[in-house]
């Protein structure tokens, strides 16, 4: 394998204004959302790939091209009301948009950029979960828990560009390592049955292959609150939670901090979190790991809890739950179930809950 497909030919850069005093430029290779974030304009978003619908906006004037007019994040009602997704919109002219402002930009938060990395290390964590390290020029600047958009060689081509030129199919994957000056971006990627990209990453990528990295993105990063933490991961949601735990273990007050790590998978062969818990055990006050499998198979040899991982989280199992920062990553159904239980049943403030849903 070699490198990703070349991008579309350059189109004019267009001026974007939001109607509330914010403005930025957007070129042909960017969506409205990414151009805003690259310019340091805080905009509301979550998945950056059309699935969640968080980045909905209204076009006040001008013309927009939709990369995916049928993106799952837009309902039929949204379309009737003229809503669009900023992560799927490329301006064809200067535009004015009603773009919802996002959280304030963190002082140590890097604006997203595009760089080319090469695969320098791979290893299998389980039968369908592969850890891949990419090395790119310059420092790898991100916050623990953030993600990047990856374009890999051999992935299907998406022809949604304004001029019909091919665009490499992207996927969002979270970093599992920490920011570093060596330009290393590490990911833990799970094969999704029928997935157009994950199968290539898990089964086909080789040392030396080129991958485009666009990031960092994401709000579910480690906060500087001084609180103990709970991390909850399901499936490929392991990667950002490993990064969060590693980030906490690096802090000066780590020896006073407690971590409760919950990890859920389908079967015993999916369990691999213990390696990363043991990695930080001597650097924090306490770390506990709870793993559960959802498949009910009496012959699989599993002696731990069975069921969905959110069912195991309770005030009785986590000391001071209401005063913790809680980080969650995994499939949308799992993430939503955890958040509902924390807020509606356990009375945890939404201010203390930070999550990424993987669409």
In a domain, 67, yes or no: yes
Q: What range does the domain containing 278 cover? A: 229-357
Question: Greater confidence, 69 or 246?
Answer: 246
Dump pLDDT digits (tens) for 320-331.
Answer: 999 999 999 998
Average pLDDT of the residues in 232-244: 94
pLDDT of residue 357: 76
Residue with the larger pLDDT of the pair 123 and 359: 123
| 33: its two tokens | 């959302």
Last residue of a domain, one of 196, 217, 238: 217
State the average pLDDT for the chain.
90
> What is the structure's pLDDT at 20?
84
**Among 44, 72, 99, which residue terminates a domain?**
99
CB count in 10 Å sphere of residue 300: 13
- 241 and 339 in one domain? yes
Closest alpha carbon to 310 in 331, 339, 270: 339
Kindly state the average pLDDT of the residues 60-89. Answer: 94
> 276-303: per-residue pLDDT in tens?
999 999 999 999 999 999 988 877 888 8
Residue 7 pLDDT greater than 50, yes or no: no
pLDDT of residue 169: 77
Q: Give the separation between CA 270 and CA 18, rounded to whole angstroms.
A: 46
Residue 175's φ and ψ, nearest 5 degrees, are: -75, 145
Confidence (pTM): 0.91
Is residue 104 included in any domain, yes or no?
no
Residue 16, both tokens: 């974007």
- Domain end among 99, 121, 152: 99
Is there a domain that residue 291 lies in?
A: yes
177 and 125 inside one domain: yes
Neighbours of 123 (CB within 10 A): 9
Per-residue pLDDT tens over the stretch 112-158: 999 999 999 999 999 999 999 999 999 999 999 999 999 988 766 55
Is residue 108 a part of any domain in this protein?
A: no
Which tens digits make up the pLDDT trace of 301-320?
Answer: 888 899 999 899 998 889 99
Positive or negative, the Cα torsion across 341, 344, 346, 347?
Answer: positive
Residue ranges of E strands in 62-128: 64-66, 83-85, 89-91, 95-99, 113-124
**Would you state the pLDDT for residue 6?**
44
Tens of pLDDT, residues 182-201: 999 999 999 988 888 888 88
Q: Domain for residue 283, yes or no?
A: yes
> Which one is predicted more confidently, 196 or 334?
334
């Amino acid at each position: 394998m070699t490198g990703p497909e070349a991008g579309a030919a350059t189109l004019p850069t267009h001026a974007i204004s939001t109607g509330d005093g914010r403005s930025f430029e957007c070129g042909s290779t960017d969506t409205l959302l990414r151009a805003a974030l690259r310019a340091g304009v805080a905009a509301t978003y979550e998945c950056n790939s059309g699935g969640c619908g968080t980045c909905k906006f209204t076009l006040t004037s001008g013309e927009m091209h939709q990369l995916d007019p049928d993106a799952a994040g837009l309902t039929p009602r949204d379309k009737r009301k003229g809503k669009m997704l900023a992560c799927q919109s490329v301006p064809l002219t200067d535009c004015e948009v009603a773009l919802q402002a996002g959280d304030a930009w963190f002082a140590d938060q890097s604006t997203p950029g595009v760089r080319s990395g090469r695969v320098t290390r791979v290893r299998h964590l389980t039968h369908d979960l592969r850890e891949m390290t990419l090395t790119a020029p310059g420092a790898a600047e991100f916050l623990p828990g953030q993600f990047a958009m990856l374009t890999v060689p051999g992935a299907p081509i998406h022809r949604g560009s304004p001029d019909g030129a091919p665009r490499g199919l992207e996927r969002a994957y979270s970093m599992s390592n920490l920011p570093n000056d060596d330009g290393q971006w590490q990911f833990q990627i799970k094969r999704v049955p029928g997935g157009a990209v994950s199968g290539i990453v898990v089964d086909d990528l080789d040392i030396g292959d080129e991958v485009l990295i666009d990031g960092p993105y994401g709000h579910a990063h480690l906060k500087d609150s001084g609180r103990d933490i709970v991390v909850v991961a399901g499936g490929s949601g392991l990667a950002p939670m490993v990064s969060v735990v590693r980030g906490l273990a690096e802090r000066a007050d780590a020896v006073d901090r407690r971590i409760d790590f919950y990890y859920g998978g389908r079967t015993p062969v999916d369990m691999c979190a213990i390696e990363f818990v043991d990695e930080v055990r001597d650097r924090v006050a306490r770390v506990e790991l709870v793993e559960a499998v959802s498949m009910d198979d009496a012959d699989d040899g599993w002696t731990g809890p069975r069921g969905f991982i959110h069912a195991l989280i309770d005030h009785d199992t986590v000391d001071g739950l209401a005063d913790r920062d809680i980080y969650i990553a995994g499939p949308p159904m799992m993430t939503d179930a955890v958040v509902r239980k924390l807020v509606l049943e356990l009375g945890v403030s939404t201010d203390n809950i930070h999550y990424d849903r993987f669409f």
